[in-house]
Amino acid sequence: TDVEICLIGGSCKSPIERFWNGNNMLYILQKARHNEESDLVEESKPDDAIYASELLPKESSGPVALSVRRAKQLISLYTMVQNPNMTHLKTSELVVLPPLWIRCDGSDPEHTRWLGAEPLKAGNQITGINFYMVTCDGPTADKTCFADLEELKMAHKMKHHSSIVTTKGSAQYELIRAAAIEDTIVESESNIYVDITWNTVNKILETPPLISAATLNITLESGDPRSPVYQLYRELQFLLALAEGFKTGVTEWPEPLESESAVELVQEFLTDLKNKLDRFCISENKNETEKIKCDTAAVDSSIKSIFSERGDLDFAEQLWCKMKSKCVSSYQELVECFTLVIKSLEHGEIQPWIHQGSSSLLSKLIQQSYHGKIEVVSLSGITPIQMLLEIGLDKMKKDYVSFFIVKSGSCLLFQDYFISTSVDLQEQVHRVQKLHHMLEIMVSCTVLLQFKHENLFPLTQICMKYYKENPLNEKHVFQLPIRPAVVKKFYQNDHPEIWKVDMSSGHGQKEVKTTWQVSTNPPAEHMTSNNTGLFSDSTVNGSSEERMYFIAMAKCSQVHFT
């Protein structure tokens, strides 16, 4: 009753993946939550209780570890029921159980954080058990605490009676994260980091060689005010507000940001069209473009074009630009704007040009006006909302397609899926959200990592494949295999977030491994409930010169039953 058991398998992320690379299901054992009590608070003096309570979380939401002593008991029981020689247990049929890993509280002198056991098999027969122990110290900035590689290899040889030891290194570097703006931190889940692996390690904390294998991991949250496409994000938010209003009948209208009302802007726009008598007139939209700027000096002229307004806006798209969030501030104003447009079409005062293929209600009215007669439209209920939503969707779809095809040179394999009009408006809006998230990823990699077409193209395909099959998920980690040379300048002088070396000997089921790792974060989730974070804050005072590291060691040993 004191133990909670979790079965991890399938696509679930293994909490022990850094130290064990098994592909099968596994059991995770931890302390049952209903027994969770703080021994520290119970045993401490009254004066100390206040201090202790400050160190402990107010509400523990993460896993809780068992004592090392209890974990060893459970490992022994697990081993006993897997041992075919234990005939006194009178087990009718021996079943091979998944590997077992137990969260430990580090209460022993070695500070053990994990104990594990994995059956060794020959066909359907259990021949032995692999035992694992993961210990951890720190955090510390003292490099003298770090191990010597040759000493680690020698210890491995002696423990396992090996003559040959192979080494494999891996490192993780954070390339971008939420940065400080005027002494404040922008709260964001965005992060880009690279995982690098290589064979033959020569020294502890060595920089990965260029012949390494590297994978870029990208998690990006839309809406960062520093993003070059932030104005497009705001435009999308207005579209989402319209979609919500179309669905519920209640629309949250923004506060007007311009001195001119939307009605006045639309009237000026229509008057200008009448005077020019040019049905192919395309507005320069200077006021729109000037507000979309990039603050990154590294962006060249070809990249800057990403953030500028398209030059082929048709009448409906220009009308959207006049009426979007900075102008239209009420339902009544929206009705008045469309009333002006429809009257101008009915009287033949304008014959505006529109893109082919548009299925919006306004586009149909414009096409009808070419023949001198348009159907009567009642501008009541949700009809005006629908009309504005449709032209906004058309415009933003073309914006994204312009980037993905023209700017990045990418062939949109799933183009029809993202811009299809055969689904309802809500689903179309959802797909436009996906397009925007992909755009934010591409722009971030272009601006921050100076990606060129050779990297943007495969990344685009990876994102599109994911979003054709999955709903919008800004927490998803997009992974791109990449040459280390592409991003080396961003990490070569930086400290790794994780650095480890695996030393192994033997082959197949006789393979044994020792792992030494340093990491800026605790190597186990159940370690986050103690006071380790205080050491980092009080020791380095925010300085990145002396990086604080947790030092973890994973060892294994084998016991054979036959």
What are the tens digits of pLDDT across the range 419-477?
888 899 999 999 999 999 999 999 999 888 988 888 988 999 999 999 999 999 999 99
What is the C-alpha to C-alpha distance for residues 303 and 294, in angstroms, rounded to an integer?
A: 10
Strand, helix or coil at 215?
Answer: strand
Confidence of residue 291 (pLDDT cuts 50, 70, 90): very low
Percent of the chain with pLDDT over 70: 80
Strands 549-560 and 512-519: antiparallel
Task: Give the pLDDT mean for 154-178.
Answer: 89
Residue spans per domain, the chain: 1-33+62-152+546-561, 229-275+309-473
Provide the whole-model pTM: 0.81
Task: Please indicate whether residue 492 or residue 385 has the higher confidence score (pLDDT).
Answer: 385
Give the count of beta carbons closer than 10 Å to the beta carbon of residue 258.
12
pLDDT digits (tens, 9 = 90+) for 103-153: 999 999 999 999 999 998 888 788 899 999 999 998 988 888 899 999 999
Strand, helix or coil at 139?
Answer: strand
Q: Are 177 and 185 in contact (CB under 8 A)?
A: no
Task: Give the pLDDT mean for 236-263.
Answer: 84
Confidence of residue 60 (pLDDT cuts 50, 70, 90): low
What is the C-alpha to C-alpha distance for residues 179 and 163, in angstroms, rounded to an integer?
A: 49
Nearest to 313, CA basis, from 340, 345, 280:
280
Task: Please indicate whether residue 88 or residue 466 has the higher confidence score (pLDDT).
Answer: 466
Q: Identify the burial level of 395 via C-beta atoms within 10 angstroms of its C-beta, where 0-12 means exposed, 13-18 middle and 19 or more buried.
A: buried
At residue 50, φ and ψ (nearest 5 deg) are: -65, -45
Give the count of beta carbons closer than 10 Å to the beta carbon of residue 29.
23
Give the count of beta carbons closer than 10 Å to the beta carbon of residue 123.
6
Residues facing residue 102 across a β-bridge = 29, 115
What 8-state DSSP symbol labels residue 407? I
Q: For residue 294, how many C-alpha atoms fall within 13 Å in the half-sphere facing its CB?
A: 20
Residues facing residue 536 across a β-bridge = none
Q: Are 97 and 103 in contact (CB under 8 A)?
A: no
Q: In b/e form, how buried is each residue of 425-458, taking b as 16+ CB within 10 angstroms?
A: beebbebbbbbbbbbbbbbbbbbebbbeeebbee
Q: What is the pLDDT of residue 37?
A: 47
Strand, helix or coil at 121?
Answer: strand
Give the count of beta carbons closer than 10 Å to the beta carbon of residue 301.
6
What is the C-alpha to C-alpha distance for residues 516 and 341, in angstroms, rounded to an integer?
A: 71
Task: Give the pLDDT mean for 246-261.
Answer: 79
Rounded to the nearest integer, the mean pLDDT of the chain is 81
What 8-state DSSP symbol labels residue 227? S
What separation in angstroms does the CA of 178 have from each of 114, 387, 451, 455? 32, 38, 20, 23
CATH level 3 topology of 229-275+309-473: Methane Monooxygenase Hydroxylase; Chain G, domain 1 (1.20.58)
